Amino acid sequence: MSSVFLILFTILAVSSIAQSTVPSSKTFKYTFREQLANGSLEEEHSGLYTDIQVVRTNSPFALCHYTTFTPVYVLGIRLGIHLVWEANKANPVQLNSTLTFGLTGNLVLARPNGHVVWQTGTANKGVVDIKLHSDGNLVLLDKQGKFVWQSFDYPTDTLMVDQPLRPREFIEQVTLRNSPAVDEPFLSELTLNFKTRNFASLGMWLANPKFDSKFSFLRLGDDGNLKAYSYFTKANMSWNAWEVTYTLFSREYQHPSECHLPEKCGGFGVCEESQCVGCPSPNGPMWWSKTCSSPSKLPTCAGGKTIGAVSYFEIVGVDHFSSEYSRRTMRLIECRDQCSRDCKCKGFFYQKDTSKCLLASQLNTLTKAEGTGTDRVAFIKFAK
C-alpha cells in the first residue's frame, strides 16, 4: 500500500516541478552581434559596452556585454561606466554567440557552434522568471519569488552594497553597508561589516560620501589596492557622477601607504612617500626603473638545499611590504642561517630593536621604514 502512495506522490511531485517552467513570453535568445556600442567603460576594463535590453531595471545597473578592441565579448553587469560583475571573464565569446533563457529556466551563454561557455545550471529547478534588481543582483526566481540563483553568490573583484561575501574560516560574512550618517543627516555613511564566528558583528567605517551612497561598491584592484566608488545618480555631468570614497593603501596615510602595496615598485625597489626611489644592488643603489629586480644570480639549489657560497648585501632602513615578522625573537645570525638554508628565501629582514626576523621568498616593494628606521635592515641574497 505504502509503495503505491510513494509512486503516486512521486508522480505528483514530478508533475508539479514540470509545471513550473518559464512562461514563453519571458524566454529569450540574445545574439552577440556587431553593433554600435552604448558607451565606454572606465579605464580598468577599457572596453565598449552594449546593454542587453531584454533584462532591465529601474536603476543605473544594466546587464550588458563588453568588448575590448578584439572582437570577443564578456557578459556582465555595469553600474554606470564601471563593470561590477562578469560571467565569463576568463572565457570570452566571439561574435554570434548567444545568451539564452529557455523554458527550463537555465541561463546559458554559448558559442555559435553551441558549445556552452557559462551557465547558471538551473534547468528544471522551478525557475519562472529572470530579474535584475535595483541593487545590481541578477536573479532567477521560482513561483514563490525565491532566488534559485543570484549573481550576488558569485562575486568577482567587486562587492556591492548589501551583497554578502562569505569567506570561509573565521569570518562568516562581510557586507558593505550604506546608511544615513548618525550626526549629519545630509551625509551618508559607508561601512564594512564583518560577522565573525566567535564574536558579534564588527563594523569598520569607510567613508561619509557627500551624497547618498546607495550605489557604491568596493573593488579589489589588480594592484592589490582596495577602493570604494560611489555613484551620484543626480549628477548631471559625467565628471561629477563618481567619487572614490575610500582607499585602503593611500598616498595620504603613512600606514598603510601606497608603499605597502606589494607591486607598487614592481619586482624590487625602495618606496618612500608613494614614490619608487631606488633600486638597490650589490654594487650600491641605482635609480628605480621598471626593470629593477633582485639579484638573479642566486646560489644553486639541489634537493632543497643551498650549494655554494651565499652572500648578502644590506639595505638599511627598509621593511618588507608585509609585516609578518616572527613572533619568536632570534639573533641576526640565526635569521641569516635560516635564509641561507632555504632555497626559496631571497632575502631576510631583521628588526634590530625587537630582534625579529622575516624570511622573504618574494621581495617586491621595500617600504622605507618610518622615522630614522636604522634598526630595520634588509639582507638581500646573491651568489658571489
> Judged by CB, which is closer to ligand NAG: 50, or 122?
50
Site for ligand NAG (CB under 6 A): how many residues? Answer: 9
Q: Pick the closest to residue 139 from 120, 117, 116, 166 (CA basis).
A: 120
Binding status of residue 307 toward ligand NAG by CB under 6 A: no
Q: Shortest Cβ distance from residue 97 to ligand NAG (Å)?
A: 9
> Judged by CB, which is closer to ligand NAG: 27, or 38?
38
* Region near ligand NAG per CB under 6 A, out of 7-15, 31-39, 122-130, 322-330: 31-39
> Judged by CB, which is closer to ligand NAG: 111, or 125?
111
Which residue of 10, 96, 300, 361 would you call a contact of ligand NAG, by CB under 6 A?
96
Cell of 187: 551625509
> Judged by CB, which is closer to ligand NAG: 38, or 193?
38
Q: Shortest Cβ distance from residue 241 to ligand NAG (Å)?
A: 11
Q: Pick the closest to residue 152 from 168, 131, 171, 178 (CA basis).
A: 131
Which residue of 12, 18, 46, 112 would you call a contact of ligand NAG, by CB under 6 A?
112
Q: How far apart are CA 52 and CA 256, in angstroms?
A: 41
Q: Shortest Cβ distance from residue 111 to ligand NAG (Å)?
A: 10
> Judged by CB, which is closer to ligand NAG: 59, or 225?
59
Q: How many helices (H) and strands (E) does the chain have?
A: 2, 30
Q: Shortest Cβ distance from residue 60 to ligand NAG (Å)?
A: 12
Partners of 357 in the beta sheet? 350
Q: How far apart are CA 274 and CA 278, in angstroms?
A: 12
Q: Shortest Cβ distance from residue 51 to ligand NAG (Å)?
A: 5
Q: How far apart are CA 247 and CA 257, in angstroms?
A: 10
> Judged by CB, which is closer to ligand NAG: 112, or 167?
112
Torsions phi, psi for 18 (to 5 deg)? -60, -30
> Judged by CB, which is closer to ligand NAG: 236, or 372?
236
Q: Shortest Cβ distance from residue 162 to ligand NAG (Å)?
A: 26
* Region near ligand NAG per CB under 6 A, out of 10-18, 30-38, 214-222, 358-366: 30-38
Q: Shortest Cβ distance from residue 37 to ligand NAG (Å)?
A: 7
Q: How far apart are CA 280 and CA 12, in angstroms?
A: 75
Q: How far apart are CA 338 and CA 207, in angstroms?
A: 43
The amino acid present at 288, given as its one-letter code, is W
99 CB-near residues (< 8 Å, 6+ apart): 28, 29, 30, 32, 52, 75, 107, 108, 109
Give the H/E segment covering residue 182.
Answer: none
Per-residue contact string for residues 130-169; x = within reach of ligand NAG by CB under 6 A: ----------------------------------------
Torsions phi, psi for 8 (to 5 deg)? -60, -45
Q: How far apart are CA 59 and CA 132, in angstroms?
A: 9
Q: Pick the closest to residue 54 from 80, 70, 31 (CA basis).
A: 31
Cell of 18: 514540470
* Region near ligand NAG per CB under 6 A, out of 22-30, 34-42, 158-166, 330-338: 34-42
Q: What 3-state DSSP class applies to 152?
A: helix
Binding status of residue 95 toward ligand NAG by CB under 6 A: yes
Dihedral Cα 78, 83, 85, 87, nearest 10 deg: 100
> Judged by CB, which is closer to ligand NAG: 58, or 144?
58
Using CB under 6 A as the binding rule, the residues of this chain from 35 to 54 that contact ligand NAG are 35-36, 38, 50-51
Torsions phi, psi for 11 (to 5 deg)? -60, -45
The amino acid present at 206, given as its one-letter code, is L
Give the H/E segment covering residue 12.
Answer: helix 2-19
Per-residue contact string for residues 197-236; x = within reach of ligand NAG by CB under 6 A: ---------------------------------------x
Binding status of residue 311 toward ligand NAG by CB under 6 A: no
> Judged by CB, which is closer to ligand NAG: 73, or 379?
73
The residues that touch ligand NAG, with contacts defined as CB under 6 A, are 35-36, 38, 50-51, 95-96, 112, 236
